[in-house]
Structure 1
Amino acid sequence: MQVYFDWVVLFQVFCIVQGFTTGIYLLTTKKQQPSHYWLGWLLLGLTLQITDYFLSRSGIYYRNRWLYFSPFFFSWSFGPLIYFYVKSRVQKINRISYWHFVPVMVQGIFYLLLVFQPLSVKADFWISVHKPYTRYLEHYGACLSVLCYGISSITFGGISKERDSRHYYFLCGLILFYIVAAIDPLFNHLYLEPTAPKFYLTALVLPLFMYSLALYGLLRKPTILIRKKAANSSVDKDKLDQVIKVMHEAKLYKNPDLSLPILAQQIGLPTNELSRIINSGLQKTFADFVNDFRIAEVKERMLKAEDERFSLLGLALDAGFSSKTTFNRVFKERTGMAPKFFKKESQLINRGEALPNES
């Protein structure tokens, strides 16, 4: 079997070997950090997509047409995997909402239904459906997923420039790349030959990104938890108590725009020192620290009969939450139940009634 080789194909082969070995290593190594699990799956997904690029560029697809529509594309999983990877680096994930992965399940079923079809059906589907429609849906769906989950990782995942500058800039770079990747197919006919791949930029740059990520995952030492435990003993307990006391007595958490610099100014501590006190002394991110106070106030007011007239949204906004969506998500993470059901339970307790099972 003849295989076409150039420097791009050789680099793709190198990335495929690196990606599979590193991904499997991260998934199977003992005493792994939780973030390794998500990084391992992300690497395997990226590597499968690069495998598809390799089979196409090397001519293997052309000479083995039965391979057309093999299930190598799981790009709709990249966004959720990036989000859970980032989130697991800064906090323990107690519950995973698997609806995040429904799109990639649909994507997988799509290819499994096509891969076993006769070549004539595949060819007709490629010409009439996939080439003009579904491949664009797949590409822009992946771009939108990564953009939304990348922004969510920065906004809600606890990653900040001050705390973890490497991952912060990595996410910013990834968001920028997928913005360009979304725009590129619209005008790349201006600088490419008509026969060139439509998603040229993605096919060229994604192997570089995957290789860098694999190298990082392979060489990075799991020192985060060790540093936290070591730093915990060096935290000034008086300052930690002061931070908690000011937050509780002044109710600073009620400010929906409360940030680390604002709290540091109120307490009279440098921003970096306050961040270290919260992260190392309490083993929490700043967002978790503030939201714990907000959730505690909402729960306390739910138990008060005089506050029953207030809506859940009213309680949440008064406690400092900026939106109903954020409140619902954080409340369920902390308590394991939806705010509506928790409030109902609290009202029944106030009246001395027994609460029936949720089922």
Structure 2
Amino acid sequence: MSAPTIEFGAWSSLLGLGSLHGLIVAGLLIKAKRNTAANRFLAALLVGTVLMITPYTIGYAGFYDVYPWLTFAPFYWQLAFGPLLYFYVRRLGEDASPPRWRWHFLPAALQGAYYAAAFSLPLPTKWAWSAAGHEPYVAPLLNAAILLSLSAYWWRAFGRYRAYQAWLEANSARREELHLGWLRGFLWAVAAVVALNVGFQSVDGLVADLDYFDYFPFYLALSLLVYYLGIEGWRHAGIALPTMSAAPPSAPVGETAPSAELSPTPERDWRALGERWSARVAEAGWWREPDLNLADLARRLGTNTQYLSRALNDGLGLSFSQFVNRLRIEEAKRRLGEAPRGRDGADITTIALEVGFGSKASFNRAFRALVGATPSEYRADAHDAPSGR
């Protein structure tokens, strides 16, 4: 019988290319100048995933046949994946990590320590422990803990994403351009691969024993996930996101508002106050500023964010984002109605930027939501009508 050799076939090469991509992107993310903490959490997640794929990448090439002492090499850090995902999402919209955040990685440290200890054993002892202890007891417990950890942290990450979207709606004039569909897709891609892993483990435990090679489709999917997360993460590594503020001030921050406007009386007319402030904002043209936010507008009006929010929400029935977009769209409608017929899309882009939107795409979404037609359709209809709109 010939001695075992190392040979990189199609399976090892596919997984290896995905891993190489993940490591390159991780290196780029570590050096990113913006969103430093978030990008480093994502880089660590990519490296951890590459490590998880590595035993199969080298295993299909024959490394474990040539170097059996690689058994129990500490490639497995899956208990860090959930916290890394959660803190990546969280730090995209926050300036600082929560206190004692490092404790979230204690289970991963224990997992790594277990594999490091097992790896240090003599080879015969490794095999004996694998058969008598690891496979029947430790592996099922680890798999359950990993699934529980990933599920819990994924849920928290998705909740954080939704909370940030709600905060943008209530506080930022950039809401329309910050739907963050890429981040939602990012989270659902992770969920899909976790579900696929559950499927493989269920078949392995309940239907038929799956061997090393039967798991290749899962690790191929994991490699594709590395591609996807790496590409999306790097594409948005430098995105400038508004930072979620802690809590709005509970007292007026300005000195110009009449005391009658701000006195906490139960009979306050929020609608009248909202209309008054709306007129001031429209006249001043503050809505044209792309980065306008609730706190800044409250300061200019001489009030606080709580009062301004109530005047908009309870008085006008609008969120802050809707309020600003309505003023922007009204001006855009006026400009489109005046524009000569037959102008091309470049002029629509100019109008979009001049009324405060960050891109033509965000302008189109907001315009269609409020008017029921695209800017081009509205302009065409306006100039088809005998007297315009």
> What is the DSSP-based 3-state SS (H/G/I as helix, E as strand, rest coil) of the residue aligned with 2:8?
coil
Deviation at 1:193?
Answer: 7.3
Contact 2:93 2:242 in 1 (8 A): no
Counterpart of 2:89 in structure 1: which amino acid?
A: V
- 1:82 corresponds in structure 2 to 85
Please point out which of 310, 317, 325 is paired with 1:268.
Answer: 317
**Pair 1:23 & 2:26 matched:** yes
In 2 relative to 1, CA 71–221 (structure 1 residues): closer, same or farther, beyond 3 Å? closer
The residue that corresponds to 1:244 in the other structure is 305
Following superposition, the deviation at residue 227 of structure 1 comes to 11
- Give, as a single letter, the amino acid of the residue that structure 1 aligns with 2:305: I
Q: TM-score normalized by structure 2?
A: 0.58
Where does 1:276-315 land on structure 2 (aligned, <5 Å)? none
User: Aligned equivalents of 1:193 and 1:135: distance in 2?
Assistant: 15
The change in CA–CA distance for 1:234 and 1:194 in structure 2 (over 3 A counts) is closer
Aligned in 2, Cα 1:66/1:106: closer, same or farther, shift over 3 Å?
same
CA distance in 2 between counterparts of 1:100 and 1:204 reads 28
CA drift at 1:206? 1.0
State whether residues 42 and 88 of structure 2, in contact with CA within 8 Å, keep that contact through their aligned partners in structure 1.
Answer: yes
Hey, what does 1:14 align to over in structure 2?
Answer: 17
The code of the aligned residue for 2:140 comes to: Y
Give the Å deviation of 1:233.
4.5
Q: 1:11 to 1:29 in 2, by over 3 A?
A: same
In structure 2, C-alpha distance between the alignment counterparts of 1:276 and 1:24, rounded to whole Å: 39
Whole-Å separation in 1 of the counterparts to 2:160 and 2:33: 29
CA contact (8 A) 2:26 2:46 kept: yes
Query: How far 1:143 moved relative to its partner?
Result: 1.9
In 2 relative to 1, CA 23–244 (structure 1 residues): closer, same or farther, beyond 3 Å? same
Answer with 172-181 or 49-58: which moved more: 172-181
- Report the residue type matching 2:132 in the other structure: S
Residue 10 of structure 1 aligns to a residue whose secondary structure is: helix
AA matched with 2:143: H
- Residue 212 of structure 1 is matched in structure 2 by 228
Does 2:139 correspond to 1:123? no
- Residue 245 of structure 1: CA displacement? 4.4
Structure 1, unaligned runs of 5 or more: 251-262, 278-359
Alignment-derived partner of residue 169 in structure 1: 185
Task: Check whether the contact 1:4–1:58 (CA below 8 A) recurs between aligned residues.
Answer: yes
Which residue in 2 is equivalent to 1:150?
154
* 31 and 168 in structure 1: CA distance in 2 versus 1, 3 angstrom threshold: closer
Moved more, 166-175 or 64-73: 166-175
> Offset of 1:214 from its aligned partner?
1.6
User: d(CA) in 2 for partners of 1:248 and 1:264?
Assistant: 6
CA distance in 1, matches of 2:131, 2:65: 15
**Quick one: distance in 2 between partners of 1:181 and 1:201?**
10
Q: Which amino acid in structure 2 is aligned with residue 137 of structure 1?
A: L
Higher Cα Rg: structure 1 or 2? Answer: 2
RMSD, aligned CA? 3.6
Query: How many Å apart are 1:73 and its aligned residue?
Result: 0.5
Task: Output the amino acid matched with 1:211.
Answer: Y
Cα shift at 1:186: 1.7
Greater shift after overlay, 147-156 or 69-78? Answer: 147-156
Write the distance in 2 (CA, Å) between the matches of 1:136 and 1:209.
24
Residue 266 of structure 1 deviates from its aligned partner by: 5.8
Q: Which digits, 9 at most, give the CA deviation of each residue in 1:15-47, with x for residues without a partner?
A: 221122221232234555331111111111111
- The 3 A distance-change label for structure 1 pair 224 and 190 is same
Q: CA deviation at 1:274?
A: 5.9
Structure 1 residue 224 corresponds to structure 2 residue 240:
yes
Contact conserved, 2:89 with 2:160, CA < 8 A, in 1? no
Unaligned 5+ segments in structure 2 are 167-177, 245-288, 327-389
Task: Give, as a single letter, the amino acid of the residue that structure 1 aligns with 2:71.
Answer: Y
SS of alignment partner, residue 147 of structure 2: helix
Matches within 5 A, 1:64-79: 64-79=67-82
Output the TM-score relative to the length of structure 1. 0.63
The CA deviation string for residues 237-273 of structure 1, in whole angstroms up to 9 with x for no partner, is 26985882447879xxxxxxxxxxxx84764225743
Which of the numbers 64, 68, 71 marks the counterpart of 1:61?
A: 64
> CA 1:266–1:79 in structure 2 vs 1: closer, same or farther (change >3 Å)?
farther
SS of residue matched to 1:2: coil
Contact 1:143 1:179 in 2 (8 A): no
Per mean C-alpha deviation after superposition, the further-off stretch among 5-14 and 68-77 is 5-14
